[in-house]
Structure 1
């Protein structure tokens, strides 16, 4: 009888212990769950903040320098006053307007007046590409009329003045390595202007400037008769191989002496065939 009471008491203690252990375990589990939930909430919140930060960075992924256009030279060159108070001469990257200063090309005055009316006295935002200045000390820049919210065709077309010149037919494309960030957009905009006879293309379907130049970082192309000694001229050396993109989108280069060489209005210039081929062009048949 006595042994039975001892066993019964032992079993009761075991039951109570099991109940207490279960209660503590549930409490810890609940606490762990709450901590995990809190951790998860923090993580989600953190992801959200990171997303917003990334979104913000994507809107400002280009480094811009604020400036005021203080003086106008021609269609693709202006003076600006930087926030530091420094005055600097700026050459617009990627486009080439007809000349209106050292020589007078068709549509040069129109392009010059357009730039003056749209930029002079205005606050702009300058974007640098891989190259900083040319051999004349001019800053090579993309000029934004307002800060882009993101980098896409619509923003470039409507807010970047370099592109606006191309879209409206005031400039031909001019690609000079290494500043090629927006070259594909400029090519598209110039082709669109040409197909719709806008601006200089309505005056001359072949264009009124030397157009695109690849392989030099020192300025824009000019007509061969211009002397490189002319003060403030924009001469540059480039290869003699002409690169062209046909209506099918094929990239073709033409060597001097080829059948269509003289008739080709180049969208790119190359020094060697290897350079042209590296850019995705093939030899004209």
Structure 2
């Protein structure tokens, strides 16, 4: 039995030794946006957090739009641009960026950003910063004092054809695969994922009355 266990241990050691270790990345940082850095020639996506996109707006409690994504990018630059960082690579994302934890003088950059309300915990991938976000939310820090979509939802709605040019005409007139003309209202279940292709005869409407008069029926959900 001891001999069998020893063989398994030896095989495991050989396999682990065969896996290429990702070396630490060090150097001065250039801030791309709220959760993306560049160190030398390496583009790095900070692990476990998701910050508003640079062009993402927020809405104040009084109903005013505010360019919070740009503000966050500038805040992160003020804090970390040019600092010497040490990054621990974990993986690569689908865009080829290195996903890593990065530190300045031993301080976790991602943790600071979530604590200050400049980024959200990206719970889809990690719960490392879950409690930090909850504390920032209770303290009303950063973006928690405003109304905004989650960055992931915002990216989804920015895909071509999913957001109209006219803010007053946001009803989506979609044509299904079977040729049915159906319109989707903001807030309905399939609204965000529905894209509009004018080349296929699809269009945007400014009112339900206009959509119905044009031959479209409302989506059931």
Give TM-score, length-normalised by structure 2: 0.53
Give the total of aligned pairs. 132
| Greater fraction of residues in helix | 1
Query: Does the C-alpha gap of structure 1 residues 171 and 146 become closer, same or farther in structure 2, counting only changes over 3 Å?
Result: same
User: What is the Cα deviation at residue 176 of structure 1?
Assistant: 3.8
What secondary structure, in the 3-state scheme, does the structure 2 residue paired with 1:224 have? helix
Query: Which structure 2 residues correspond to residues 17-56 of structure 1 after superposition, within 5 A?
Result: none
Indicate yes or no: 2:168 matched with 1:168.
no
| Structure 2 counterpart of 1:97, from 51, 62, 75 | 51
What secondary structure, in the 3-state scheme, does the structure 1 residue paired with 2:39 have? strand
Number of the residue aligned with 1:140: 99
Deviations 1:81-129 (A, max 9, x none): 2xxxxx11011111111111xx332221221012111222111111233
User: What is the Cα deviation at residue 223 of structure 1?
Assistant: 3.9
User: What is the Cα deviation at residue 72 of structure 1?
Assistant: 2.1
Number of the residue aligned with 1:242: none
Number of the residue aligned with 1:72: 31
Deviations 1:56-91 (A, max 9, x none): xxxxxxx9724223432111111112xxxxx11011
Number of the residue aligned with 1:210: 150
| Structure 2 counterpart of 1:198, from 133, 141, 144 | 141
Number of the residue aligned with 2:158: 226
Structure whose CA Rg is larger: 1
Distance 1:146 1:188 in 2: 23
What secondary structure, in the 3-state scheme, does the structure 2 residue paired with 1:137 have? coil
Contact 2:25–2:89, Cα closer than 8 Å, also in 1: no
Query: Does the C-alpha gap of structure 1 residues 127 and 222 become closer, same or farther in structure 2, counting only changes over 3 Å?
Result: farther
Contact 1:93–1:141, Cα closer than 8 Å, also in 2: yes
Q: Which has the higher contact order (CA 8 A, sep 6+)?
A: 2
Query: Does the C-alpha gap of structure 1 residues 79 and 170 become closer, same or farther in structure 2, counting only changes over 3 Å?
Result: same
CA RMSD of aligned residues (A): 2.4
Contact 2:25–2:88, Cα closer than 8 Å, also in 1: no
Contact 1:95–1:173, Cα closer than 8 Å, also in 2: yes
Q: Where does the alignment leave 5 or more consecutive residues of structure 1 unmatched?
A: 1-62, 82-86, 148-158, 212-219, 230-261, 263-285
Indicate yes or no: 2:186 matched with 1:186.
no
